[in-house]
């Protein structure tokens, strides 16, 4: 659709009566917002200030819906999403209608009996808060005041508690068995003279390192310990230790290797070693790992 196919009077109506922005109008009629600007100018429609004014872009119908939602206690963040209005606009509409300003943090719910009944019916605190447009913390506070805290169960005597801890082996399991908070169970055990065993740290999950030649090949391709560690998803220190174990020297440039490359015969190998003077130089010439060269030379001299 082009701007020539759009009814300019409809654009003006959406802008003036519905309070829509030029971008929303453009999305509605299927043209660019620049075209909407031109149509409004052609119709000599008085433009609103950039950014709009609180309450100015709200039609009478939307104003009524905003007031009803505000009176029903809908949270401001839900109203922003539902009506595409700013906090300033919502509060201006409420103020113009003579509605009382909300307390900071949202409306407070004082119908304690309703909250109690919902709790007794099995509704969790988050669901009650959602239903009543209240804060979850506020609902939990009311339930605690009514005696519905988390720890309504009575803990057993000290000997029974110690026996349960000895049987299950952890405060968490004992608390789960009793339906009580861990802190209460822990405090009761300490008061009974039980020494709480420290939890053994969980072993860090570790991926197995590849073999030495693969590690050297990756290092030769990626050119840094950090890159190899990222590729294998293994800690850098483990990569560094693995490379050192196969003869790599930190700070030296990587030597590309070929996995499975055959070594020359023993005499050729000894001749290369005599010519170059070190295992590292022979390994670099042959593009194999130092360990393989060293092992082959040791076998040749045995």
Note the pLDDT tens digit of each residue in 146-167: 766 654 567 889 899 899 898 8
CA distance 63 to 18: 11
- Model confidence over 210-243: pLDDT tens digits? 888 888 888 877 778 888 888 888 888 888 888 8
Distance CA 165, CA 173 (A): 8
Domain shared by 214 and 179, yes or no: no
Same domain, 212 and 245: yes
Contact 283, 292 (CB under 8 A): yes
Contacting residues for 238 by C-beta, under 8 A, at least 6 apart: 206, 209, 229
Q: Where are the alpha helices (DSSP H) in the chain?
A: 8-16, 22-29, 33-42, 60-71, 76-83, 87-96, 112-120, 125-132, 136-145, 158-168, 171-178, 182-191, 212-222, 225-232, 236-245, 266-276, 279-286, 290-301
Looking at the structure, tell me whether residues 13 and 25 fall in a common domain. yes
Instruction: Work out how many domains the chain is built from and give that number.
Output: 5
Over the stretch 6-60, which tens digit does the pLDDT of each residue have?
888 888 888 877 777 788 888 888 888 788 888 888 888 877 654 444 444 567 7
Burial class (CB in 10 A: 0-12, 13-18, 19+), 80: middle
Residues 6+ apart with CB under 8 A from 60: none
248 shares a domain with 222: yes
Percent of the chain with pLDDT over 70: 81
Q: What is the pLDDT of residue 105?
A: 52
- Residue 30 in domain: yes
75 found inside a domain: no
Rounded alpha-carbon distances, angstroms, from residue 215 to 209, 289, 290:
8, 10, 13
Residue 79 lies in a domain: no
In a domain, 50, yes or no: no
- Judge if 220 and 178 occupy the same domain: no
Looking at residue 147, its pLDDT comes to 67
Determine, yes or no, domain membership for 200. Answer: no
Is the C-alpha dihedral spanning 77, 78, 84, 86 positive or negative?
Answer: negative
* Domain containing residue 288: 260-302
CA angle 258–264–270, rounded 5-degree value? 115
Could you tell me which residues come within 8 angstroms of residue 220 by beta carbon, excluding any fewer than 6 positions away?
A: 254, 255, 256, 257
Q: Tell whether 15 is covered by a domain.
A: yes
Residue 74 domain-assigned (yes or no): no
pLDDT score for 253: 54
Question: How distant is the alpha carbon of residue 202 from its chain centre?
Answer: 23
Query: 103 lies in a domain?
Result: no
């Amino acid at each position: 659709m082009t701007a020539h196919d759009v009814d300019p009077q409809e654009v003006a109506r959406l802008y003036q009566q519905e309070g829509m922005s030029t971008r929303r109008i453009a999305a509605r009629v299927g043209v660019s917002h620049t075209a909407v600007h031109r149509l409004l100018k052609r119709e000599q429609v008085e433009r609103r200030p950039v950014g709009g004014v609180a309450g100015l872009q709200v039609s009478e119908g939307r104003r009524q819906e905003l007031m009803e939602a505000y009176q029903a206690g809908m949270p401001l963040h839900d109203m922003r999403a539902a009506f595409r209005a700013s906090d300033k606009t919502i509060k201006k509409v409420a103020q113009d209608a003579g509605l009382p300003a909300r307390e900071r943090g949202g409306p407070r719910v004082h119908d304690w009996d309703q909250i109690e009944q919902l709790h007794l019916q099995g509704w969790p605190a988050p669901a009650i808060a959602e239903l009543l447009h209240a804060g979850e913390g506020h609902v939990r506070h009311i339930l605690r005041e009514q005696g519905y805290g988390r720890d309504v169960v009575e803990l057993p005597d000290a000997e029974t508690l110690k026996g349960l801890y000895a049987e299950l082996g952890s405060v968490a399991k004992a608390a789960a068995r009793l339906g009580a908070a861990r802190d209460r169970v822990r405090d009761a055990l300490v008061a009974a003279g039980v020494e709480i065993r420290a939890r053994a740290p969980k072993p860090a999950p570790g991926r197995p390192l590849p073999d030495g030649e693969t590690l050297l090949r990756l290092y030769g391709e990626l050119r840094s310990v950090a890159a190899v560690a990222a590729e294998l998803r293994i800690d850098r220190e483990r990569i560094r230790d693995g490379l050192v174990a196969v003869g790599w020297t930190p700070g030296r440039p990587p030597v590309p290797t070929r996995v499975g490359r055959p070594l020359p015969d023993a005499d050729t190998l000894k001749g290369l070693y005599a010519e170059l003077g070190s295992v590292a130089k022979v390994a670099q010439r042959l593009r194999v790992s130092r360990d393989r060269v060293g092992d082959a030379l040791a076998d040749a001299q045995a």
